[in-house]
Amino acid sequence: MSLADLSRVAHYSRGYLSKVETGQKPPTADVARGCDEALGAAGALIALAPPQ
């Protein structure tokens, strides 16, 4: 899945997701959850998100 596709499915901007992907911004639990669901990662991305 491309970053553009992920941004549409997860409802976050491509620019923001790019910053998360490259480590410029930490993922929030909501972003991790949205991306996890969009990618079918079965909780793997949620487990990587920093605690809030």
What pLDDT is stored for residue 45 in this prediction? 92
Q: Give the closest residue to 39 by CA, choosing from 17, 23, 19, 22.
A: 17
Q: In angstroms, what is the C-alpha Rg of the chain?
A: 10
Asked whether the predicted pLDDT for residue 49 surpasses 90, the reply is no
Do residues 18 and 33 make contact, with C-beta atoms less than 8 angstroms apart? no
CA distances, 1 to each of 9, 10, 32, 45, 51 (Å): 10, 12, 16, 15, 26
pLDDT exceeds 80 at position 52: no
pLDDT at residue 38 tops 90: yes
Q: What are phi and psi of 13, to 5 degrees?
A: -65, 150
Tell me the average pLDDT across 19-41: 95
Domain boundaries, the chain: 3-48
- pLDDT attached to residue 23: 93
Q: Share the mean pLDDT of the chain.
A: 94
